[in-house]
Copies of this chain bind each other. A is one copy, B any other.
Amino acid sequence: MIDPIIFTGNPLDRASELRSDPDWVAGQLAHPEARIVPFWRTKPLIRLEGARAFPAWTSVPALGDHHDPARTLFLGLNGTQTPFFACDVSAVDEPKDDPLLTGLGKFIDLRSICPNLSVPDTGILAQGKAILQWHHSHRFCSYCGVETTMVDGGYRRHCGACSHDHFPRTDPVVIMLVTDGDQCLLGRSADWTPGNYSALAGFVEPGETFEAAVAREVREETAIEVGNVRYFTSQPWPWPMNLMTAFFADALTTGITLRDNELEDAMWASRDQVRLALAGDKAAGFNAAPPLAIAHHLLKAWVA
């Protein structure tokens, strides 16, 4: 079994068979129990209770002029059919100066606040962040250049000029722990905190299988050839809208040559070193990826 992974386990029912009906969405927005959480420039509004953090759920009327139905995303229904929404309030210049918003909570970077949120809440906020960012970056029609409008509760944009529909994108990324007996391959980017090492990763390209993407990325970054690619699990990663797809792979060669400019260093780490690093022991000689990252769970599963 894998431990609960941050951004997974979103408990809401997206009701995709209902949300394409604008009357149904409007009815859910008018529901007396409807809950909504604002996002400001990718940051969710968070309510803090000591060390614990919660999405700053509020009612639609309580948001006043900040609520714009054209920038509101239907997230889903909970077990008692209460509708949940997210809305984009990025038009506000400085939320710190807005008493309505400061009365509800604080806009905090999702990554930094994740450890204080429940795992199901991280899943809900990942959904909101990814889709609202997609709307922000897809305001204009890629076919004809005309401004489009949000429809289907936020799961489609429609172009009135050329009639094309646009759907949210999800970018699959492979992340893979390459192993050679009792050692595994780790790398680091130049812009990471010194000493941090993680599993290699990269975007899947069109016309490529996951298995081919794993082999290509490892080859490009380290010149190592791999085989026996095995799926591990997946994790949404809303920066901006990736789907981390984790694999194990066997090394067929072991000589490391840094071939592209993505990695500053790559190395083989022993199982004992990885155990120490996961325990936060400096004797490991490097820092392992934190529990937030799926790489952490790949390493944990490998040493187990």
From B138, B155, B206, A127 is in contact (CB under 8 Å) with B206
Can you tell how many copies of this chain the complex includes?
2
Quick check: A138 and B145 within 8 Å, CB to CB? no
Q: What would 21 A/B residue contacts be, using CB atoms closer than 8 Å?
A: A8-B211, A8-B212, A9-B212, A10-B207, A10-B212, A16-B220, A127-B205, A127-B206, A138-B142, A138-B143, A141-B142, A167-B203, A169-B206, A170-B171, A207-B236, A207-B238, A209-B236, A209-B243, A210-B234, A210-B243, A210-B245
Separation of A126 and B205 alpha carbons in the complex (Å) = 11
Complex Cα–Cα for A38 and B67 (A) = 50
Bound together, the chains give a CA A145 to CA B164 distance in angstroms of 14
Select which of B138, B139, B204 is within 8 A of A170 by beta carbon.
B204
Is A14 touching B216 in the complex (CB atoms < 8 A)? yes
How far apart are A75's CB and chain B's nearest CB, in angstroms?
9
Starting from the known contacts A129-B207, A167-B171, 7 additional A-B residue pairs (CB-CB under 8 Å) come to A8-B211, A139-B143, A139-B145, A169-B206, A170-B171, A207-B238, A209-B243
Total chain A interface residues with beta-carbon distance under 8 A: 60
B-facing residues in A9-66 (Cβ within 8 Å): 9-10, 13-14, 16-17
A141 to B127, CA, bound (A): 24
Residues of B within 8 A of A168 (CB): 205-206
Question: Counting CB contacts under 8 A, is A95 at the interface?
Answer: no
- In order of increasing CB-CB distance, the 10 nearest A-B pairs are A127-B207, A231-B231, A17-B260, A140-B145, A130-B206, A145-B145, A138-B142, A210-B234, A126-B207, A209-B234
Q: How far is the CA of A172 from the CA of B260 in the complex (A)?
A: 26
B137, A140: Cβ atoms closer than 8 Å: no
Contact B146–A145 (Cβ < 8 Å): yes
Q: Does A241 contact B (CB under 8 A)?
A: yes
- Whether A163 is near chain B, meaning CB under 8 Å from some CB there, is no
Point out the residue from B14, B123, B169 that lies within 8 Å of A171, measured CB to CB. Answer: B169
Known: A140-B143, A171-B169. A234 touches B211 (CB 8 A): yes
- Would B167 and A7 count as touching, CB distance under 8 A? no
Q: How far is the CB of A234 from chain B (nearest CB, A)?
A: 4
Q: What's the least CB distance linking A40 to chain B, in Å?
A: 18
Contact, CB under 8 Å: A220 / B142: no
> Is there a chain B Cβ closer than 8 Å to A147's Cβ?
yes
A186 interface contact, C-beta 8 A = no
Most chain B Cβ neighbours within 10 Å, of A134, A143, A231, A235: A231
Complex CA distance for A127 and B207, rounded to whole angstroms = 4
